[in-house]
Structure 1
Amino acid sequence: MVKSIYRPTKITIDTRAIRKNLRTVSQRISKNQALFAVVKANGYGHGAVQIAKIAEDEGVDGFCVATIDEGIELREAGITLPILVLGLVEVSTLPVVSEYQLSIPVATTEWLDLAIQEYQRNPWKQPVAVHVALDTGMGRIGFLTSAELHHAYQRLQAPAFLFEGIFTHFATADQADTSYWLEQKEKFFAMIETLPEQPRYVHVTNSATLIWHEPLGNMVRYGVAMYGLNPSSDALDPAYPLVPALSLSSKLMQVKKLPVGSGVGYGHTYETTADEWIGTIPIGYADGYVRKLQGFHVLIEGEFCKIVGRVCMDQLMVRLPHEMPVGTRVTLVGVDGQNQITLQDMASYIGTIHYEVACLFSERVPRVYE
């Protein structure tokens, strides 16, 4: 999707906030714990390459992405630090994984058998670094039992692989009730203690674990908190300050006074109850500003202005308190005067989490780094 640089809608990323969040976490982990910055999903909507370069400058030890393509994007941007792909990959992609020196997860012995067979037919350039995934209660990917883990360990002695890491993912690290988190923690460490050797990286600590529990293992996967977002949304207060990095702004492109009884937007879902000033803003659901945000608000001159009528593909309309000049700044996420709109505010309104809201913003909206 082409970036729309000739309209005033833009996302601004405060690079100082990213740096501050990284420095905060660096002070909370020990020197023997590697810090991997998670930049999957285009850096949670913030821009993967740009955030990775900031994180690299701040001294992180590696990166986590979700797909092979995301890893390749970082490599082609000049990133040489270790990159761990968190999503499962097909055996047919292993030559590419090897070529770009990516690390990948493994979750079944069947996959390992197929990979060994493929390597015997057509060896890739260098061993593929693998991180063994353990399913301790997430139900997503990973080995369930110590017996399965030992079968996997035996296969990892093949020349096709480098046994680089082992990990799990906590399901409830961001919740007040710690009982399930403790169950997963105990199961993970009980399983890895049965191995003949430990790999280079043992990692279970994500943002939520670091904030509300303890930095376990020798590698930290620092994701949403790096962007200044609370991993629990608004369920728990973070144990230390997080500085949000993303703001979203635009401008009023048309302002007009509609008489009482005028319809606004598709479906005639809003009708003026008096003579009302209506402003049009160039952003819509194709930009990731979803239709469910009808009835939400933006900030203009420090005042909350309600979104009226359905959000269109490329535009939306707001009710203004009075006539305002065309070109007036509009804040959709961020601070204006004494008021603020957060990603969490948007998420709460539409019934989701701020992770999803940030990831929804499309490539059509330019990212500006300040």
Structure 2
Amino acid sequence: MNDAVYYRDTWAEINLDAIEYNIKQMKQHIGTTTGLIAVVKANAYGHGYAQVAEAALKAGADMLAVAFLDEGILLRKAGLTVPILVMGAARPRDIQAAIDYQLTLTVFHRNWLKEAAAFHRMGKLQFHIKLDTGMGRLGIKSKSELEEVLKDSCSSDFAEAKGIFTHFSTADELDSSYFQEQFGKFETLIKGLQNTGMMIHCGNSATGLRFPERLFNALRFGISMYGLAPSSEMRGILPFPLKEAFSLHTKAVQVKKMAEGEKVSYGAVYEAEKEVWIATLPIGYADGWIRRLQHSEVLVNGKRAPIVGRICMDQCMIALTEPVPLGTQVTLIGSQGKEVIPVDEVAERLDTINYEITCSISTRVPRVYTRDGKVEEIVNFLLK
């Protein structure tokens, strides 16, 4: 590791081999006739926009997807030239930016194209149509509105429909009744469109893992591209093992002996019940390691150690049974020896989902990218 690239011993490690493995396994699972759209929104779920996008394409992804226009522009400025779908709402007045950067937008209501026409200057927009089959977010709900958008597209000289999609709200739940209801609505709405050459995609990671026969001609691969199960319910029914790509590490910057009765951190809520060694770690809630993780554990020399006292903005403390040298590596997410703290464990401690954990690790934390066990790139967002 190049110590000159960042100046605090806290970093997230991103295993690009794991991302490529997960994509290759999914491609084998869904078959050669189904395209794979790699979802890299939200800084690739905290893993890094361009680095994950490039790894995904290397592994065989056909297209990228992001949440909003700015993310797509970021990827274009990073040199990526593949098709990129913006899945969220873009303002009609921003149509020219999408055309200039060759980004595929999402049209989700009947008036969007008419409103966008006033802001079009040159070039042609490609777009996908979003259908709301029961998620209750963006999307067209009726056949008549869909037909109107398709009609407007056919008569337009500045926009062309290239795809149509929906999103399932319960594909990751073992009870598939609502999933089946949504799927049925989608089939009804797209009737007659399957042979038009449009990209038709309804599947997220959960759908692809559980129902590969219901993907039409493309899959949106999000959370499981990063090696994480779409839900706790699905962990036991995965068709192939996933490899987690994200780990989080720091180092002990001070180790001191505390006597019985001495207190640690804000509020003095932790009091040593006996003589204990306290190690200070340079990571805190401003990095995404939030205060509610106060009673969680970390790994030191392959063993678990508790976080004690309140987590501070930039630091936290752990209790040890014996001293360790300064600079000893501490793993907050990931493995050491035979012990492992997966992302799901942290999520369960916080009563949330694994998506939120990796997305929450802030850009104060550098990302270290590895391939074949070697560091390939280090990104320090603060010093870019």
Instruction: Output the TM-score relative to the length of structure 2.
Output: 0.92
Count of residues in Structure 1 that have an aligned counterpart in Structure 2: 364
Q: Distance in 1 between matches of 2:63 and 2:194?
A: 26
Which stretches in structure 1 are left out of the alignment for 5+ residues?
A: none
How far 1:271 moved relative to its partner?
Answer: 1.3
Report the secondary structure of 1:306's partner residue: strand
Conserved in 2, the CA contact under 8 Å of 1:227 and 1:243?
yes
Indicate the residue corresponding to 1:126 in structure 2: 123
Report the secondary structure of 2:119's partner residue: helix
Q: 1:214–1:295: structure 2 CA closer, same or farther, 3 Å change rule?
A: same
| CA-to-aligned-CA distance 1:181-220 (integer Å, 9 cap, x gap) | 1111111011111559735200011110011112411111
Indicate the residue corresponding to 2:71 in structure 1: 70
1:57 and 2:58 aligned? yes
Counting aligned pairs with the same residue, the percent is 43
How far 1:117 moved relative to its partner?
Answer: 3.4
Report the secondary structure of 1:156's partner residue: helix
Conserved in 2, the CA contact under 8 Å of 1:34 and 1:218?
yes
Q: Distance in 2 between matches of 1:287 and 1:256?
A: 24
Indicate the residue corresponding to 1:166 in structure 2: 164
Q: Distance in 2 between matches of 1:196 and 1:207?
A: 22
Conserved in 1, the CA contact under 8 Å of 2:13 and 2:246?
yes
Q: 1:152–1:199: structure 2 CA closer, same or farther, 3 Å change rule?
A: farther
The root-mean-square deviation of aligned C-alpha atoms, in Å, is: 1.6
Indicate the residue corresponding to 2:16 in structure 1: 15
Q: Distance in 2 between matches of 1:93 and 1:4?
A: 37
Indicate the residue corresponding to 2:325 in structure 1: 325
Conserved in 2, the CA contact under 8 Å of 1:4 and 1:364?
no
After the TM superposition, which of the residue ranges 251-260 and 189-198 deviates more from structure 2? Answer: 189-198
Indicate the residue corresponding to 1:147 in structure 2: 144
Whichever residue aligns with residue 60 of structure 2, its letter is G
Q: 1:181 aligns with which of 179, 182, 186?
A: 179
Whichever residue aligns with residue 216 of structure 2, its letter is G
How far 1:351 moved relative to its partner?
Answer: 0.8
Indicate the residue corresponding to 1:241 in structure 2: 241
| CA-to-aligned-CA distance 1:85-134 (integer Å, 9 cap, x gap) | 11110011111000000011111112222112333xxx2x3211111110
Q: 1:366–1:165: structure 2 CA closer, same or farther, 3 Å change rule?
A: same
Indicate the residue corresponding to 2:224 in structure 1: 225
Conserved in 2, the CA contact under 8 Å of 1:257 and 1:276?
yes
Q: Distance in 2 between matches of 1:272 and 1:234?
A: 39
Q: Distance in 2 between matches of 1:306 and 1:4?
A: 30
Q: Distance in 1 between matches of 2:259 and 2:196?
A: 73
How far 1:228 moved relative to its partner?
Answer: 0.5
1:266 and 2:246 aligned? no
Indicate the residue corresponding to 2:204 in structure 1: 206
Whichever residue aligns with residue 164 of structure 1, its letter is K
Conserved in 2, the CA contact under 8 Å of 1:174 and 1:236?
no
Q: Distance in 1 between matches of 2:79 and 2:208?
A: 29
1:38 and 2:35 aligned? no
Instruction: Output the TM-score relative to the length of structure 1.
Output: 0.95
| CA-to-aligned-CA distance 1:254-308 (integer Å, 9 cap, x gap) | 0111112212111222111122211100101111111110000101011111111
Indicate the residue corresponding to 2:354 in structure 1: 354
Whichever residue aligns with residue 262 of structure 1, its letter is E
Conserved in 1, the CA contact under 8 Å of 2:20 and 2:58?
no
How far 1:160 moved relative to its partner?
Answer: 2.0
| CA-to-aligned-CA distance 1:26-46 (integer Å, 9 cap, x gap) | 112232221111111111111
Conserved in 2, the CA contact under 8 Å of 1:298 and 1:304?
yes
Q: Distance in 1 between matches of 2:218 and 2:210?
A: 17
Q: Distance in 1 between matches of 2:184 and 2:233?
A: 27
Q: Distance in 1 between matches of 2:182 and 2:302?
A: 46
Query: What does residue range 98-109 of structure 1 map to in structure 2 within 5 Å?
Result: 98-109=99-110
Indicate the residue corresponding to 2:376 in structure 1: none
After the TM superposition, which of the residue ranges 28-37 and 97-106 deviates more from structure 2? Answer: 28-37
Conserved in 1, the CA contact under 8 Å of 2:249 and 2:330?
yes
How far 1:246 moved relative to its partner?
Answer: 1.0
Indicate the residue corresponding to 1:89 in structure 2: 90
